[in-house]
């Protein structure tokens, strides 16, 4: 067994789901941060457990062709991205394999083709939403950035390479406003201090910008000056205050007050316009969202006569994308503000065949099915759950409704595989698996899966 400070020569053969390199020495797995498959060299053990160990590469003898110089100066300490040092084509190939592995190992689905990941031409500055925690650095200076991996220590980030440049600029504007007016940052340890997070949302197609300040209080001093500064940014449309006085690591509170402008911004995907408010979920990579939704639309196979359910519908993005080509679309979403946005979005686009219900998908759909005495059917059911995947009560109802097609949009291949296993054991078959890179430079991968009745 290895012990701390042992030095071993080893080759890195794999990348864990969290993006750490891993190799094997004497039957023991050693996790080596910031390495990639194909690297070889000397590793010093920094922590040894019974069957595995953690190490650092102290001398790199063979550098893998996966490696590229990181474009981000803080990619080491920052927990936001994990793969800045990995060539983009290798990131995509690794993500494709990750989906395949999950389907095989967790889903027991052998021999299913996973299509090459839909990637970006320019995988930088793609995010339309930034959330910067605000605090103090070791010298007590005010700062904002992103959390270090597995921690709440803020790594200052002035020029995040995956954010929109305007978000980075607004971060700087808010910090200098705080400094000049001596406005305090919130301290998680003591629960004191005012400003917790700076949130920026940019409508990629419209250029409209929302700035949100999450505060531990009900009022903002020197708000006039903040607004004046923010209005110098072209496109500023909405400045909101979000009240969060809880001792929690949940970022947003429930209460939103408009400081200036409108309570929402507008964006467009394809030919549908969407209103987005501070509390609503909206996909963060607009260029890739088009590809994701087009794939979902393609897999839905609509001719105009179909009844469609869109579960976990958020502000109705996928629902409305499909509604123009279906007879009727029903969306279900748990966040009430998002359901209200969805209904407004339907009206905004003059779409009259979409209806939205507030509640948990696993409550609403089974309840509607029961009310119909088991007669309710759908041609297509779309699900787009958060990382924990679908509740079994929902999958059960989907099976009973006998849809011709289920389109599963997933941000976690592990829970996707678990849910596919259930559907495949209950009369369905996986037809197509298309991963889409919504989060370049990170380990996350999104997939769209077409499931049909076997």
Measured from the CB of residue 319, what is the shortest distance to ligand SAH in angstroms? 8
Shortest Cβ 213–ligand SAH spacing (Å):
22
Of 410, 408, 388, nearest to 398 (Cα)? 408
Task: Report the distance separating Cα 300 and Cα 406, nearest Å.
Answer: 8
* Smallest separation, CB 329 to ligand SAH (Å): 12
Q: Is 411 a catalytic site residue? A: yes
Does 390 contact ligand SAH by CB under 6 A?
A: no
- Does 378 contact ligand SAH by CB under 6 A? no
The first and second tokens of residue 136, run together, are 């103090």
Among 172, 235, 374, 386, binds ligand SAH (CB under 6 A): 386
CB contact set of 131 (below 8 Å; sequence gap of 6+):
197, 198, 199, 251
Minimum distance from residue 256 beta carbon to ligand SAH (Å): 16
3-state DSSP assignment of residue 379: coil
Residue of the chain from 341, 384, 412, 437 that contacts ligand SAH (CB under 6 A): 384
* In the complex, least distance from residue 333 CB atom to ligand SAH, rounded to whole angstroms: 5
Rule CB under 6 A: say whether 376 interacts with ligand SAH.
no
Measured from the CB of residue 387, what is the shortest distance to ligand SAH in angstroms? 9
Distance CA 37, CA 49 (A): 22
Q: How far is the CB of 293 from ligand SAH (least distance, A)?
A: 8
> Is residue 312 at the binding interface for ligand SAH, with CB under 6 A as the rule?
yes
Active-site choice (28, 411, 424, 436) = 411
Residue nearer to ligand SAH on the CB measure, 106 or 393: 393
According to DSSP, the β-strands at 129-136 and 380-383 are unpaired
Distance of CA 118 to the CA centre of its chain: 16
Tell me: does residue 332 bind ligand SAH (CB under 6 A).
yes
Q: How far is the CB of 8 from ligand SAH (least distance, A)?
A: 44
- By CB under 6 A, residue 284 contacts ligand SAH: no
Residue 22 or 334 having the CB closest to ligand SAH: 334
Span near ligand SAH by CB under 6 A; candidates 130-138, 183-191, 205-213, 331-339: 331-339
Identify which of residues 84 and 278 has a Cβ nearer to ligand SAH in the complex: 278
Using rule CB under 6 A, residue 57 touches ligand SAH: no
Taking contact as CB under 6 A, which single stretch among the options 51-59, 97-105, 109-117, 328-336 is the one that binds ligand SAH? Answer: 328-336
- Which residue of 46, 256, 360, 393 would you call a contact of ligand SAH, by CB under 6 A? 360
User: In the set 134, 185, 226, 361, which binds ligand SAH (CB under 6 A)?
Assistant: 361
DSSP β-bridge partners for residue 258: 240
- Asked whether position 317 contacts ligand SAH by CB under 6 A, the answer is yes
Of the pair 115, 360, the CB lying nearest ligand SAH is at 360
Element (H, E) at 415: helix 413-424
Partners of 354 in beta bridges: 329
CB of 38 to ligand SAH, least distance (A): 35
Q: Which of 183, 297, 318, 326 binds ligand SAH (CB under 6 A)?
A: 318
The yes or no reply on residue 191 touching ligand SAH (CB under 6 A) is: no
What helix, strand, coil percent values describe the chain, rounded to 5?
25, 35, 40
Which run of H or E residues covers position 266? Answer: strand 264-269
Distance, in Å, from the CA atom of 308 to the CA atom of 302, rounded to the nearest integer, reads 9
Q: What Rg value do the Cα atoms of the chain yield, rounded?
A: 24
Query: Which structure tokens are listed for 138?
Result: 């070791």
The one among 314, 413, 435, 440 contacting ligand SAH by CB under 6 A: 314
On whether the CB atoms of residues 242 and 250 are closer than 8 A, the answer is no
Q: Is the separation of the CB atoms in 273 and 289 below 8 Å?
A: no
345 binds ligand SAH (CB under 6 A): no
Task: By CB under 6 A, tell whether 335 contacts ligand SAH.
Answer: yes
Q: Does 340 bind ligand SAH (CB under 6 A)?
A: no
3-class SS at 44? strand
Q: Which of 144, 202, 226, 338 binds ligand SAH (CB under 6 A)?
A: 338
Backbone angles phi, psi at 339, to 5 degrees: -65, -40
Q: How many residues bind ligand SAH (CB under 6 A)?
A: 18
Contact indicator for 323, 329 with CB cutoff of 8 Å: yes
Residue of 197, 229, 200 whose CA lies nearest to 215? 197
Q: How many whole angstroms separate alpha carbon 228 and alpha carbon 237?
A: 12
Q: What angle do CA 167, 72, 62 make, to 5 degrees?
A: 160
Q: What is the DSSP string of 162-217?
A: TB-HHHHHHHHHHHHHHHHTTPPBPBTTTTB-SEEEEEEEE-TTT--EEEEEEESS
Beta strands at 28-32 and 52-62: parallel, antiparallel or unpaired: parallel
Catalytic positions, please? 411
Q: Interface residues with ligand SAH (CB under 6 A)?
A: 281-283, 312-314, 317-318, 332-335, 338, 360-362, 384, 386
């Amino acid at each position: 067994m290895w012990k701390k400070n042992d030095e071993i020569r080893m080759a890195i053969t794999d990348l864990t789901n969290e993006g750490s390199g891993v190799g094997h020495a004497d039957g023991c797995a050693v996790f080596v941060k910031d390495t990639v498959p194909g690297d070889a060299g000397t590793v010093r053990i920094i922590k040894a457990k019974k069957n595995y160990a953690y190490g650092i590469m102290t001398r790199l003898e063979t550098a893998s062709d996966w490696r590229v110089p990181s474009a981000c100066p803080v990619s080491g300490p920052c927990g936001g991205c994990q793969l800045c040092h990995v060539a983009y084509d290798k990131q995509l190939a690794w993500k494709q394999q990750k989906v395949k592995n999950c389907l095989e190992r967790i889903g027991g689905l052998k021999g299913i083709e996973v299509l090459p990941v839909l990637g970006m031409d320019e995988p930088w500055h793609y995010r339309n939403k930034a959330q910067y925690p605000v605090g103090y650095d070791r010298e007590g200076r005010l700062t904002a950035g992103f959390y270090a991996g597995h921690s709440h220590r803020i790594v200052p980030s002035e020029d995040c390479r995956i954010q929109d440049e305007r978000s980075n600029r607004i971060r700087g504007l808010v910090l200098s406003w705080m400094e000049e007016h001596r406005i305090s940052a919130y301290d998680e340890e003591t629960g004191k201090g005012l400003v917790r997070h700076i949130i920026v949302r940019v409508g990629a197609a419209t250029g409209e910008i929302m700035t949100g300040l999450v505060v531990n209080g009900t009022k903002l001093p020197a708000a006039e000056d903040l607004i004046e500064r923010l209005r110098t940014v072209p496109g500023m449309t909405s400045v909101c205050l979000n009240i969060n006085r809880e001792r929690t690591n949940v970022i947003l509170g429930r209460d939103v007050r408009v400081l200036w402008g409108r309570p929402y911004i507008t964006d467009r995907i394809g030919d549908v316009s969407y209103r987005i408010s501070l509390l609503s979920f909206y996909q963060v990579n607009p260029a890739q969202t088009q590809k994701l939704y087009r794939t979902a639309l393609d897999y839905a196979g609509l001719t105009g006569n179909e009844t469609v359910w869109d579960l976990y519908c958020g502000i109705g993005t996928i629902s409305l994308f499909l509604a123009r080509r279906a007879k009727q679309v029903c969306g279900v979403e748990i966040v009430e503000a998002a359901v209200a946005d969805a209904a407004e979005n339907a009206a905004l686009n003059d779409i009259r065949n979409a209806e939205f219900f507030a509640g948990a998908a696993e409550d609403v759909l089974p309840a509607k099915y029961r009310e119909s005495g088991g007669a309710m059917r759908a041609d297509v059911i779309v699900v787009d759950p958060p990382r924990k995947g679908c509740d079994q009560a929902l999958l059960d109802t989907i099976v009973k409704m006998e849809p011709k097609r289920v389109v599963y949009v997933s941000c976690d291949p592990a829970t996707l595989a678990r849910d596919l296993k259930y559907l495949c054991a209950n009369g369905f078959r996986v037809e197509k698996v298309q991963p889409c890179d919504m989060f370049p430079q990170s380990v996350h991968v999104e997939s769209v899966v077409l499931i049909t009745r076997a």
